[in-house]
Structure 1
Amino acid sequence: MHKHFKIYKPYGYLSQFVNNGQKQHRKKLLGELGDFPEGIMSVGRLDEKSEGLLLLTTNGKTSDLINSSKVEKEYYAQVDGDIDEAAVLKLSEGVEIGLHGKKYITKPCNVFKLQTAPDLPERWKKLRNERHGPTSWVSITLTEGKFRQVRKMTSAVGFPTLRLVRVRVGTIHLANLQPGDSLEVLDIESVLDLS
């Protein structure tokens, strides 16, 4: 029987269980965060500097389905500067980003400015503080997941991402997990409403 988990991937960890090369030899891996079953894999990825909700499964078909464009992924991005409505509108309509040396227009998505900073655990590696200028938070919900897409999108509208946290995949939320915590998800297909 397949096993599924949700985990709060901390800042500084790779979204994988095995080192794939010399450069990754000293990197922190997900396997250090718990005793997971053999054959477990991350569903999608969060880059080393991103944090938040990551799903884990022993079922490759489930992984493929969740990674498809049928499932929404919501991110909270803390950006450099006080993001304005014009930038939010551009983000929601789709912006041009670079992808593997080519130009790519992102699909329309749901974006809004958060009026207050989200209640997230403090990051162990401190961000710059307010004396370096204002920051603001936006929610960005995508159905695609290109390489470093959210970071590239916010930069394209003039508000580079300082901190990026995935808070939702489908109907599964980060909820009250702390960095490094994991929780088994018993019926991932029905929770994601994919049946």
Structure 2
Amino acid sequence: MLIALNKPFGVLCQFTANDGRPTLANYVRQKDVYPAGRLDHDSEGLLLLTDDGALAHRLTDPKHKEPKTYLVQVDGALNDEALQALRRGVVLNDGLTLPVVAEHAGEPSWLWPRDPPVRFRKSIPTSWLTITLREGRNRQVRRMTAAVGFPTLRLIRVRVGSYTLDDLPPGETRVLKT
């Protein structure tokens, strides 16, 4: 079984928590499925869950290099120099990242409001971009955009391999064909 969840902001990618924060158990009713990968509690979007260990391994093991695509809102007016730096790879404290596919994007019309909302400042614009990467370091997209001078404000995963978020509402699940 393979399930897609549109993970809301603030939800932990685990089924239990001792501190009262929302977890996957608040959204996933199917039993004996586990996340194939993770999204930080402050990230949103496509999370795949499965009961198939081999499938989970194929989706998450870096040697299989499944592409993951994110829609990213950053602080500031993203320039071409920063975009080129992302495309080449960025030096982080744990080494040089692999090059990524990075493109300017307009603010999506289909995007749901976030709760709590992203902070708004009249004097500082924000920019949207898509980033597709094939490695999965801890908080990699956030660290990469910060390293080129544009901190991430909102991060939404929209694709893992051939699986896409499509029009799945936040907090909802859909059973996928494998």
TM over 0.5: yes
**2:16 aligned with 1:18, yes or no?**
yes
Whole-angstrom CA distance in 2 between matches of 1:58 and 1:10: 22
**Aligned partner of residue 131 in structure 1, secondary structure:** coil
Please state if 1:44 is matched with 2:37. Answer: yes
Task: Give runs of aligned pairs for residues 27-66 of structure 1, distance below 5 A.
Answer: 27-37=21-31, 39-66=32-59
Instruction: Tell me, in whole angstroms, the C-alpha distance in 1 between the residues paired with 2:123 and 2:67.
Output: 33
Residue equivalent to 1:79: 74
Structure 1 residue runs of 5 or longer lacking an equivalent are 188-195
CA distance in structure 2 between the aligned counterparts of 1:169 and 1:130, rounded to whole angstroms: 32
Summarize deviations over 1:135-192 as a string: whole Å, max 9, x none: 00110001111000000000000000000000001111110011101000122xxxxx
Matches within 5 A, 1:91-110: 91-98=86-93, 103-110=94-101
Shift of 1:18: 2.5
Aligned to 1:145: 136
What is the Cα deviation at residue 130 of structure 1? 4.5
- TM-score, normalised with respect to structure 2: 0.94
Equivalent residue, structure 1, for 2:6: 8
Aligned CA distance change for structure 1 residues 89 and 179 (closer, same or farther; 3 Å): same
Aligned residues: CA RMSD:
1.1
Q: Which amino acid in structure 1 is aligned with residue 153 of structure 2? A: L
Consecutive unaligned residues of structure 2, counting only runs of 5 or more, are none
**Secondary structure of the residue that 1:112 maps to in structure 2?**
strand
Question: Cα offset for 1:104?
Answer: 1.2
Q: How does 1:110-129 map to 2 (within 5 A)?
A: 110-114=101-105, 116-118=106-108, 119-129=110-120
Of 81, 84, 92, 1:89 maps to 84
How many Å separate the matches in 2 of 1:167 and 1:186? 17
The number of equivalent residue pairs is 175
Taking only the aligned residue pairs, the percentage that are identical comes to 40
CA distance in 1, matches of 2:103, 2:6: 23
**Aligned partners of 2:19 and 2:33: how far apart in 1?**
20
How far does residue 63 in structure 1 lie from its aligned partner after superposition?
0.7
| Runs of 4+ residues deviating >2 angstroms | none
Find the partner of 2:60 among 49, 52, 67: 67
1:17 deviation in Å? 1.1
